[in-house]
């Protein structure tokens, strides 16, 4: 995976295996405060901020020299605090800000036990309160950070202290269960194992990581290393949104978010859907009506590193290179300094339309003018692979049809591009190699004669049966170029046992047709004339998601993988289809 760019005030993102996973932390005693008199600014290292339970969090303070009270920009990160060479110092300190960077509990020089996502809300709130009392703080705080640093912001946003005035989360998330651990009810293996091991200090080369992904049973996922990682086992043994996960998310508290937020994300980011959902939910529900209008989201064609022009195998042109540092600075200048940088006039949703490669301003999500349009699957009974006869049509096929394939967990469909961070490349990748497989059903439209824009949430409605009591179904939306290259836009998965409820598993009756609704998350793409729309249907996407053992046993207990024969019905009473958010032009 490509090295993730560190942009203005985003801190360290979830890092790639190709890059150091932790920023080195200066070897300073945890209880020492060191001010470097040689620097042109005041730099207090490792100020130990006390939490109510007695744990102290190591915190760097960067501020102008001399007397003065300043608004503070706070970064809370598990990846190691930036030192005195942090590039953002040159931008913000001369502009009259103090910067504060803090190691999360159990990370860097902070005390306590590292337990990802746990107590970040409490620690963030207590840090806000501590900052507001400092003689060099004027009482106003803005927050910044990317990925986990986006989570630390959102974790402490509902019911924040009066000191919090604004936020700029980059590629954020807020519900660990749904956004990270179990989208569609399937265990997001590559991210959880790859990232979870690395932040525990277990750094695996690619071949060892690939081997670790195949470990069974999942309930002992964290026991396979010399240094055991208990929270990996916890994640794999809590497949429902129980109390464990409720302590690791903000839940239904969007009404209590009463500060302006600039969310920045990408269509190919691992948190693409939640970046939009967070903005949407606060705009709908915040108790502060003025702040409803000051929730803004920017979605580019990016993966987890935002601002790039080339993502995956596609170049999105000059417009994709975004001045994110300027956006953040203008946001802070307005909300912390009262300077008229016009951010109140920014659109609620600034979206990059891929295929056209242009930015567009919108006022709601999904777009009010959306025409949710079914695109139906059909075939003559052999949609397997590119060599098959699968087709997509806007007209409902009158005759019923059937396609079958065998899902073998020992030979899963490989993850090729998409919303990844660890374990596979991210972004748009040519899918034709995957589409050669007989366990991938491929359905394609005729070449378009008019442009078709798809912007919004995408779903697949599948009528299918399995020979197994539990299995998975996957779906992927693809843009087929005139030269035959087929680039993925968005995809999703649905674990059968959770098709109707995330808390009450329901086994399948082998051979019985059931309705599956697969959430493919979100995208914005203009299918140009001559292009074709395509959907791939299968039962695995590995290692992004764990392999379903098809046994129906409790999650995480399987030690062997069984085959399943899958039957997809379409046409007539079993009208399997994509539900596309088509935007009139």
Task: Please name each of the domains of the chain with its CATH number.
Answer: 371-583 (2.60.120.260)
How buried is residue 2: exposed, middle or buried, by Cβ count under 10 Å (0-12/13-18/19+)?
middle
Question: With pLDDT > 70 as the criterion, what percentage of the chain qualifies?
Answer: 94
The pLDDT score that the predictor gives to residue 398 is 87
Any catalytic annotation for residue 304? yes
CA angle in degrees (0–180, nearest 5) for 201-206-210: 100
Q: Return the structure tokens found at 492.
A: 């999703």
pLDDT digits (tens, 9 = 90+) for 479-502: 999 999 999 999 999 999 999 999
- Under 8 Å between Cβ of 474 and 437: no
Active-site residue among 110, 144, 147, 379?
147
**450/69 Cα distance (integer angstroms):** 59
C-alpha to C-alpha distance for 376 and 537, rounded to whole angstroms = 13
**Of residues 163, 254, 304, 570, which has the active-site annotation?**
304
**519 SS3 class:** strand
**Residue positions counted in the chain:** 585
Q: Active-site residue 269, yes or no?
A: yes
Catalytic residue among 120, 123, 269, 277: 269
The pLDDT tens digits for 31-52 are: 455 556 689 999 999 999 999 9
Under a CB-based contact definition with an 8 Å cutoff, are residues 247 and 118 in contact?
yes
Neighbours of 39 (CB within 10 A): 12
CB proximity list for 335: less than 8 A, separation 6 or greater: 142, 165, 166, 260, 343
Inter-residue long-range contacts of 88-96, CB under 8 Å, 24+ positions, other chains counted: 88/8, 88/9, 89/41, 89/62, 91/8, 91/325, 91/329, 92/9, 92/329, 92/332, 93/41, 93/62, 93/63, 93/64, 94/64, 95/329, 95/333, 96/64, 96/70, 96/71, 96/337
199: tokens are 């932040």
Per-residue pLDDT tens for 174-206?
A: 999 999 999 999 999 999 999 999 999 999 999
pLDDT at 23 over 80: no
Residue 5 has pLDDT above 80, yes or no: no
């Amino acid at each position: 995976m490509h090295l993730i760019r560190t942009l203005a005030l985003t801190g360290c993102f979830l890092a790639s295996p190709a890059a150091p996973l932790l920023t080195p932390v200066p070897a300073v005693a945890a209880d020492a405060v060191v001010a470097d008199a040689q620097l042109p600014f005041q730099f207090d290292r490792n100020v130990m901020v006390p939490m109510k339970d007695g744990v102290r969090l190591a915190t760097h303070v960067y501020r102008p020299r001399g007397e003065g009270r300043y608004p503070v920009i706070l970064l809370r990160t598990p990846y190691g605090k930036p030192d005195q060479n942090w590039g953002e110092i040159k931008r913000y300190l001369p502009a009259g800000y103090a910067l504060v960077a803090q190691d999360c509990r159990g990370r860097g020089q902070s005390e306590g036990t590292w337990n990802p996502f746990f107590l970040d809300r409490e620690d963030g709130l207590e840090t806000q309160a501590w900052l507001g009392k400092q003689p060099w703080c004027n009482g106003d705080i803005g927050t910044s950070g990317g990925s986990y640093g986006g989570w630390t912001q959102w974790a402490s946003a509902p019911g924040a202290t009066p000191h919090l005035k604004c936020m700029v989360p980059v590629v954020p998330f807020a519900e660990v269960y749904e956004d990270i651990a179990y989208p569609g009810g399937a265990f997001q293996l590559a991210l959880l194992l790859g990232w979870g091991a690395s932040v525990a200090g277990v750094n695996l080369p690619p071949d060892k990581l690939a081997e670790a992904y195949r470990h069974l049973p999942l309930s002992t996922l964290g026991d396979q290393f010399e240094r055991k990682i208990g929270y990996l086992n916890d994640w794999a043994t809590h497949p429902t949104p129980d109390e464990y996960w409720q302590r690791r998310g903000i839940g239904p508290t969007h009404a209590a978010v009463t500060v302006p937020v600039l969310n920045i994300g990408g269509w190919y980011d691992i948190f693409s859907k939640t970046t939009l959902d967070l903005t949407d939910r606060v705009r709908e529900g915040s108790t502060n009506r003025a702040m409803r209008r000051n929730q803004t989201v920017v979605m580019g064609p990016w993966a987890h590193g935002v601002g790039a022009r080339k993502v995956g195998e596609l170049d999105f042109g000059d417009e994709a290179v975004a001045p994110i540092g300027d956006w953040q600075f203008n946001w802070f200048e307005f909300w912390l300094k009262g300077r008229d940088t016009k951010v109140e006039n920014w659109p609620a949703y600034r979206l990059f339309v891929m295929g056209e490669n242009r930015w567009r301003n919108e006022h709601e999500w999904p777009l009010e003018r959306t025409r949710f349009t079914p695109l139906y699957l059909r075939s003559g009974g052999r949609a397997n692979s590119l060599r098959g006869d699968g087709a997509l049509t806007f007209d409902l096929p009158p005759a019923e049809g059937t396609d079958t394939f065998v899902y073998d967990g020992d030979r899963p469909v490989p993850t090729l591009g998409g919303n990844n961070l660890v374990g596979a490349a991210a972004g748009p990748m040519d899918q034709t190699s995957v589409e050669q497989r007989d366990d991938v059903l491929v359905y394609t439209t005729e070449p378009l004669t008019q442009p078709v824009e798809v912007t919004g949430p995408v779903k697949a409605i599948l009528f299918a049966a399995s020979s197994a009591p539990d299995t998975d179904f996957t779906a992927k939306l693809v843009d087929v170029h005139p030269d035959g290259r087929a680039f993925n836009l968005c995809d999703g998965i649905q674990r059968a046992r959770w098709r109707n409820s995330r808390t009450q598993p329901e086994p399948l009756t082998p051979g019985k047709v059931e309705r599956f609704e697969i959430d493919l998350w979100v995208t914005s793409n203009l299918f140009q004339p001559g292009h074709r729309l395509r959907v791939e249907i299968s039962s695995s996407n590995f290692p992004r998601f764990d392999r379903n053992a098809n046994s129906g046993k409790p999650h995480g207990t399987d030690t062997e993988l069984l085959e399943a024969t899958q039957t997809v019905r379409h046409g007539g009473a079993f009208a399997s289809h994509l539900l596309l958010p088509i935007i009139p032009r």
